[in-house]
Amino acid sequence: MKIIRSKRNNIVFAALFLSAAVSPFFLREVAQAAVRDSYLQDFDNFTEGSSIGGRDNWNILSGGPADAFVQSGIPGAGMGKSLLLDGALSITRVNRQFSYGGITPTWIRFRVQPSFSSQMPGFSGGIGAVCFDHTGKVLAADGSAWVDTGYVYETGRWYDVAMRVDFRNHIYDLYLADSSAGYEELSLLRASLRFSDPSINSLSDIVFSGAYSSSVSGKTYIDDVSVSYIERIVAITASRKLMQGQASGPIIIQLQDAESFAQTADADITLFLKSTSSQGRFSLAREPWEDIDRVVFPALAQSVTIYYKDGAAGRPIVNVSEYPEKGYIDALQEFEVVREAENFSIEVVSPQVAGSNFDMIITAQDKEGNTEDTYDGTVALSVNYSSPASGSLVISPENVSGFIRGVLKCSAMYPDCGWITITAADSGNSSISGTSSLVLFVPAGFILSAETPQVIANPFILALNVVNASGELTPNYKGPVRLFPLAVFPESAAGAELTPGEIKDDIFLNGSAACSLSYNRYGKIRIRAEDSSYPARSGVSGELEFLPKKLSVGVVYAAEGREFFYVGEPVTITITVEDAAGDPVPNYSGTVELMSGVGLPVMSQYVFTGDEAGQYTFTAVPEQAGVYSIMARSRGTNLQAESPMITVRNATIVVDDSSSPVGTGEVVVTIVDEEGNIINSESALAVTLEAAEELDNDSVSLSSDPVTFSNGKITLPITNTEAETVTISVSSAYKIKIKKGSIIFGRAGKTGIGQLMWRELKSAK
């Protein structure tokens, strides 16, 4: 037994799948709860050879368990199983007691392969009975007597038997069809047969009696037993307005009992479809449409769906009736068919965001442009690509309906970008259409990614995906897109920029772009991409770090042509943090560690603050002669550099000893290396000479201005008005040795007669 819960009022009913049918077939009453839906039994769920007794409320009233069992492979029974009532001297009788209710009408149906019986069964009480007697006649109970229906049967053939029970008037009708001959139509054998017991008001017992004959086989087969309560056919879908020539929505046809409960068909039922309109048409599907004038309501189904369209305006009535006639009340439904609109106007605000729902107003219009308020059809939506001129994505939904007085306010979604127009066309007549003005669809945002770290001013690839509101690519987007650096560390960077700062057109392919960029500052940034016309449509990358390309350590030589430094002479050193183009990184901040050899002391590190414009210059003073280099390494990176070799030499400034007559002489100063050779490359060193007189009376005149060596030598005039020895010393800014010299001023030079000869001239007078 299967329990079915009614969805209408939550009353629980017991639904039985009946098993048994024989000649004769009896109906009796037992007072139990009412039943709402059909009961069907085809015995296919029973085990082959199993007895019916004690199964699913079935009882064997007479005969043994082996006399009523399920068997398959019976000729004419198809592939399923049937109930066999074996012929026995004690006629096999089975029944099934259950409360089937007292609904009018109640239909009892079964299929039987009868056998001749030597005994004529009797009956008393109950509702009614049918008997396949030993003479080949089909008898029916009318009141307390058997009556001949006039139908003659043959053994070995299958027959469909149906009884329509009317509990209000206590009568029943008997139908029969020769199913072995393929006849599906049940013929009415007798109508208005009286209950044997007119006090009975509900069905609760079904009895099948077998057959016995000593001369022929007494085997009787029963199959497809059902009890149903179908009174009428109903179209349960509310009537709606239809556009002329346009298909309706689904029309659901249902079988119902007298209390409007849905009923399950106990067999295939053919329904005829008619309309009072000569242009009314029916179909099982809206698309593709195929005209039909009937539909089969399948066995075990509770509903069937059809569609209707009409080529003429008006109020047609649709009629659905069963065939052959079983006394069901026909389904009737009226439709209002209104004339077609001429075109549509479509209102959409521009721009819209790709992939987001947007509002659209579609108005049906007549030839004069007035609202056609009777239009209530379905329109198909499509897009027309403008810029770009082609595309692959479509608008959704593709069909919309629900017009109210000719106006439909609906929501739609287009997943791509670009300029399009939207066309609405009547789904039944595409010539009725309308197209919107141009609508721009912009991206919901951008997804950016690039590898990190990168080298400052070195090209790198930025992957940019243009997405809609669902995160899907938008193949038709063509930009332009502006790109901006967003400082993370340091918090700001004057002059920071991405090159190029805008991308567009052919760089976009199917909603993605791989663009080559460079960034000109040090630090960490995020890249912001935004639509050039609609900056709110944007996206930001993750953090990207940009580092210098290299370090360099430069040395500035003090004198042109001299490739060494003197001990004590400051060495000018420049540390440069460079980008990929070899330019200083203006905002570099970080620690650079320094190292050099003993004799050329330098600071251990320098911390760039970002204010040095990428270069830091300092001096180092060598303390002893030698060959040195300075190593620089950026802490936290792999960048390091070494300066050119720095040569430091000892030197001596030598003042030559000389003599000069009183008057004008000259001072000769040379600068020599460790081996006493004049340093001819020295033409930049400036020194100051100072004279010390033997007689401190300021008789000596010597320039006190700095004097520069020329090719390692200085020659400077000196005058003295008296004879004496003058000592010349030299002052230098570096740790250069000084060798003083002296000039002896006298009456004569060092050679020749040292006596001044003179005579007094007298005039000729």
Looking at 381, 408, 442, the residue that finishes a domain is 442
Query: Would you say residue 765 lies in a domain?
Result: no
Distance CA 125, CA 142 (A): 11
| Domain at 218, CATH number | 2.60.120.200
* pLDDT, position 564: 92
For residue 172, the Cα-to-chain-centroid distance in whole angstroms is 64
What does the H/E/C string look like for 358-385? EEEEEEEECCCCCECCCCCCEEEEEEEE
Question: pLDDT digit string (tens) for 173-226?
Answer: 999 998 877 666 788 999 999 999 999 999 988 999 887 666 656 788 998 888
Query: Would you say residue 177 lies in a domain?
Result: yes
**Predicted confidence band at 121 (pLDDT cuts at 50, 70, 90)?**
low
* pLDDT, position 486: 96
Specify whether 305 is located in the same domain as 189.
no
Specify whether 373 is located in the same domain as 407.
yes
**Predicted confidence band at 167 (pLDDT cuts at 50, 70, 90)?**
very high
For residue 177, how many C-alpha atoms fall within 13 Å in the half-sphere facing its CB?
15
Query: Would you say residue 764 lies in a domain?
Result: no
Distance CA 599, CA 568 (A): 10
Specify whether 454 is located in the same domain as 431.
no
Backbone phi and psi for residue 454, each to the nearest 5 degrees, phi listed first: -125, 165
Contacts 24+ apart (CB under 8 A), 298-301: 298/265, 298/268, 299/265, 299/266, 299/267, 299/268, 300/40, 300/264, 300/265, 301/264, 301/265
Distance CA 700, CA 678 (A): 28
Question: pLDDT digit string (tens) for 614-624?
Answer: 999 999 999 99
Q: Render the burial of 21-40: b for 16+ CB within 10 Å, e for the rest.
A: bbbbbbbbbeeeeebbbbbb
Residue 179 corresponds to which tokens in the numbers above? 């199913």
Specify whether 167 is located in the same domain as 18.
yes
Assess whether pLDDT exceeds 90 at residue 755. Answer: no
* pLDDT, position 119: 63
Between the alpha carbon of residue 605 and those of residues 32, 613, 634, 648, the distances in Å are: 105, 18, 9, 23
Query: Would you say residue 282 lies in a domain?
Result: yes
* pLDDT, position 34: 44
Distance CA 160, CA 166 (A): 20
Distance CA 249, CA 572 (A): 93
Specify whether 160 is located in the same domain as 292.
no
Backbone phi and psi for residue 703, each to the nearest 5 degrees, phi listed first: -60, 135
* pLDDT, position 719: 95
**Predicted confidence band at 515 (pLDDT cuts at 50, 70, 90)?**
very high
* pLDDT, position 3: 25
Assess whether pLDDT exceeds 90 at residue 76. Answer: no
Specify whether 205 is located in the same domain as 106.
yes
The percentage of the chain sitting over the pLDDT mark of 90, rounded to a whole number, equals 63
Rounded mean pLDDT of 752-757?
Answer: 44
What does the H/E/C string look like for 402-437? CCECCEEEEEEECCCCEEEEEEEEECCCCCCEEECC
Assess whether pLDDT exceeds 70 at residue 762. Answer: no
Specify whether 637 is located in the same domain as 658.
no
Residues 6+ away with beta carbon under 8 Å from 636 = 590, 591
Distance CA 618, CA 603 (A): 9
Distance CA 60, CA 83 (A): 13
Rounded mean pLDDT of 122-133?
Answer: 85
**Predicted confidence band at 36 (pLDDT cuts at 50, 70, 90)?**
low
Rounded to the nearest 5 percent, the helix, strand and coil shares of the chain are: 0, 50, 50
Greater model confidence, 755 or 360: 360
Rounded mean pLDDT of 223-252?
Answer: 88
Which range among 46-55, 161-170, 431-440, 586-595 shows the weakest confidence by mean pLDDT?
A: 46-55
Between the alpha carbon of residue 203 and those of residues 46, 109, 256, 727, the distances in Å are: 25, 14, 19, 155
Range of the domain at 154: 2-228
Rounded mean pLDDT of 393-416?
Answer: 95
- Are 407 and 363 in contact, with CB atoms under 8 Å apart? yes
Assess whether pLDDT exceeds 50 at residue 638. Answer: yes
Query: Would you say residue 236 lies in a domain?
Result: yes
Specify whether 636 is located in the same domain as 699.
no
Residue found under tokens 């509002």 = 359
- Are 458 and 549 in contact, with CB atoms under 8 Å apart? yes
Number of CB atoms found within 10 A of residue 66's CB:
13
* pLDDT, position 4: 27
Which sign, positive or negative, has the C-alpha torsion 187, 192, 198, 199? positive
As a residue count, the chain comes to: 765
* pLDDT, position 341: 80
Give how many domains the chain has, as a whole number: 6
- Are 177 and 187 in contact, with CB atoms under 8 Å apart? yes
Question: pLDDT digit string (tens) for 717-740?
Answer: 999 999 999 999 999 888 899 999
Specify whether 258 is located in the same domain as 334.
yes
| Domain at 236, CATH number | 2.60.40.10
Query: Would you say residue 752 lies in a domain?
Result: no
Between the alpha carbon of residue 271 and those of residues 77, 232, 318, 335, 396, the distances in Å are: 26, 12, 12, 19, 37
Residues 6+ away with beta carbon under 8 Å from 284 = 290, 292, 295, 305, 306, 307
Specify whether 611 is located in the same domain as 657.
no
**Predicted confidence band at 693 (pLDDT cuts at 50, 70, 90)?**
very high
- Are 602 and 633 in contact, with CB atoms under 8 Å apart? no
- Are 347 and 437 in contact, with CB atoms under 8 Å apart? no
The percentage of the chain sitting over the pLDDT mark of 70, rounded to a whole number, equals 90
Rounded mean pLDDT of 488-499?
Answer: 94
What Rg do the C-alpha atoms of the chain give, in angstroms? 59
Reported as type and span, the H/E element at residue 546 is strand 544-547
Residue found under tokens 């929501």 = 411
**Predicted confidence band at 765 (pLDDT cuts at 50, 70, 90)?**
very low
Residue 684 corresponds to which tokens in the numbers above? 């930049």
Greater model confidence, 156 or 603: 603
Q: Looking at residue 278, what DSSP letter applies?
A: T
Distance CA 479, CA 463 (A): 14
**Predicted confidence band at 14 (pLDDT cuts at 50, 70, 90)?**
very low
Assess whether pLDDT exceeds 60 at residue 354. Answer: yes
Rounded mean pLDDT of 372-383?
Answer: 89
Which range among 115-124, 284-293, 534-543, 730-739 shows the weakest confidence by mean pLDDT?
A: 115-124
Specify whether 481 is located in the same domain as 570.
no
* pLDDT, position 358: 97
**Predicted confidence band at 375 (pLDDT cuts at 50, 70, 90)?**
confident
Residue 144 corresponds to which tokens in the numbers above? 């307390």
> Which is it for strands 433-435 and 343-347: parallel, antiparallel or unpaired?
unpaired
Query: Would you say residue 93 lies in a domain?
Result: yes
Distance CA 134, CA 152 (A): 11
> Which is it for strands 652-655 and 39-41: parallel, antiparallel or unpaired?
unpaired
**Predicted confidence band at 89 (pLDDT cuts at 50, 70, 90)?**
low
* pLDDT, position 184: 64
Distance CA 562, CA 644 (A): 15
Max mean pLDDT range (266-270, 459-463, 659-663):
459-463
* pLDDT, position 391: 95
Assess whether pLDDT exceeds 50 at residue 659. Answer: yes
- Are 45 and 17 in contact, with CB atoms under 8 Å apart? yes
Residue 277 corresponds to which tokens in the numbers above? 């309109």
Residues 6+ away with beta carbon under 8 Å from 517 = 459, 460, 461, 462, 483, 498, 499, 500, 527
Distance CA 670, CA 653 (A): 6
Between the alpha carbon of residue 302 and those of residues 103, 262, 646, 672, 727, the distances in Å are: 18, 7, 104, 123, 137
* pLDDT, position 22: 33
Assess whether pLDDT exceeds 60 at residue 443. Answer: yes
Greater model confidence, 239 or 518: 518
Residue found under tokens 């439709």 = 335
How high is the mean pLDDT of the chain? 87
For residue 50, how many C-alpha atoms fall within 13 Å in the half-sphere facing its CB?
14
* pLDDT, position 721: 93
Looking at 626, 649, 672, the residue that finishes a domain is 649
Looking at 532, 547, 562, the residue that finishes a domain is 547
Query: Would you say residue 753 lies in a domain?
Result: no
- Bond before 586 cis per omega within 30 degrees: no
Residue 609 corresponds to which tokens in the numbers above? 């603050």
Residue 636 corresponds to which tokens in the numbers above? 């936290």
**Predicted confidence band at 326 (pLDDT cuts at 50, 70, 90)?**
confident
Specify whether 42 is located in the same domain as 134.
yes
